[in-house]
Structure 1
Amino acid sequence: MSLPRFLDIEYCQTDDALFPVAMAWSLADGRMKTVVIAPEESWLPDDGDLGDVDLFYLREQGVPLIELARELHEDLPDETVYVDGLDPDEILVDLIFGAVRQEAPFEIAPISDLITHRDAHALEDRRRQLLFEEGLEPQLPENGVYALLLLAKEEGLLEGY
C-alpha cells in the first residue's frame, strides 16, 4: 500500500518576482526528499532585489531544473500530491516544469481534499500546532511535509507506518 504524497515549496516573492527556492516531497514509503532549486535566469527581477534570498547560495547549491523535473517524474508519476493549500504551489510547479518544457507528472490538491471531515481552517490550525509542538521552523519545506505527514497519521491515513 502506498501512502498519500505530500509536497511543500519554499519560494521567493518580491514585487517583481515569484519563484521556487526549495522543495520537499514525500515518497510512497513515507521517506522524504528535499532539494534547493537553482533558479531560471528569466525568473530573476531586473533590479536584482530578492529580499533575503541568497542568489549565490541557490546557484551554488541548487539542483538544476531538468534534474528536479526528472526526479519528480520518477517519484510522483500520476499521483495526487497534497499541499497545505496556503502557498501558490500550482504556480510554482508550473514555473518549474514550464522552464523545462514539460507537463507536471502529478496533480496538486489541498490537504482538505484528503481529510474531508475537518474544514481547511481547522486543518491549518492543527498543522501549525504540530509545527510548534515539534519545534519545527515553518519556512523549511521538509518541515511542512513532515507536519502534513503527522496530520495524516493523526487521521489514521498512515496505518502501519
Structure 2
Amino acid sequence: MSLPRFLDIEYCQTDDVLFPTAIAWSLGDGQMKAVVIAPDESWLPDDGDPGDTDIRYLMEQGVPLIELVRELHEDLPDQTVYVDSLDPDEILVDLIFSAVGHEAPFEIAPIGDLITGLDIESLEDRRHQLMIEEGLEPQLPENGVYALLLLAREEGYLDED
C-alpha cells in the first residue's frame, strides 16, 4: 500500500521577492527527501538584499532546479501531495517548475483534505504540538514533512510499524 505524500517548502520573502530556498517531500514508503534549492537568477532581488537569506550558500550548496524538477517528476508523478497550508506552497511549486519550463506532475492539497475529522485550526495545533514534542525545528522543511507524517499516523493513515 502506498502512503499519502507530504511536502513542505521553506522560502525567502521580502517586500520585493518570494522564492523557495529548501524543500522536503515524502515517498510512498514513508521515506523523505530534502534539498536546499539553488535559486533561479530571476528570483533574486534587484537591489541584492534577500533579507536574512544567504544567497551565496544557496548558490553553492543548492540543487540546480532542473535536477530538483527531474527528481520530483520521478518521485511524485500523478500524486496528490498534502501540505500544511500555512505557506504559499502552490506559488512556490509554480516558481520551481516554471523556471525550467515544466508543469508540476502532482496536485497540491491541504492536509485538511486528507484528515477530515479535525478542523484546520485543530490540525495546525496538533502539528505544532507534535513538532514541540519531537524537538523539531519548524524552519526545516524535513521537520514539517515529518510532523505531517506523524499527524497522519495518529489519524490512522499510516501503519504503526
TM-score (norm 2): 0.99
Query: 2:90 corresponds to which letter in structure 1?
Result: E
Aligned to 2:54: 54
CA RMSD of aligned residues (A): 0.6
In structure 2, how many angstroms separate the alpha carbons of the residues matched to 1:157 and 1:133? 20
Partner of 2:93: 93
Amino acid at match of 1:133: E
User: What's 2:126 paired with?
Assistant: 126
Give the 5 Å matches for 1:1-161: 1-161=1-161
Contact 2:131 2:137 in 1 (8 A): yes
- Distance in 2 (alpha carbons) for counterparts of 1:131 and 1:48: 34
CA distance in 2, matches of 1:60, 1:40: 13
**Letter of the 1:3 counterpart:** L
Shift of the alpha carbon at 1:52?
1.0
* Structure 1: gaps of 5 or more residues: none
Q: Deviations over 1:77-128 (max 9, x none)?
A: 0000000011000000000000000010000000000000110000000000
Q: Which amino acid aligns with 1:50?
A: P
Secondary structure of the residue that 2:80 maps to in structure 1?
A: strand
State how far apart, in whole Å, the 2-side matches of 1:79 and 1:66 are: 20
Where does the alignment leave 5 or more consecutive residues of structure 2 unmatched? none
2 CA distance for matches of 1:45 and 1:136?
30
Partner SS for 1:97 = helix
CA-CA distance at 1:2 after TM superposition: 0.3
TM-score (norm 1): 0.99
Query: 4+ residue stretches of structure 1 with deviation over 4 A?
Result: none
3-state SS of paired residue (1:25): strand
- SS of 2:25 mapped into structure 1: strand
d(CA) in 1 for partners of 2:101 and 2:52? 29
| C-alpha distance in structure 2 between counterparts of 1:36 and 1:98, whole Å | 18
Decide whether the 8 Å contact of 2:153 with 2:160 is kept in 1: no
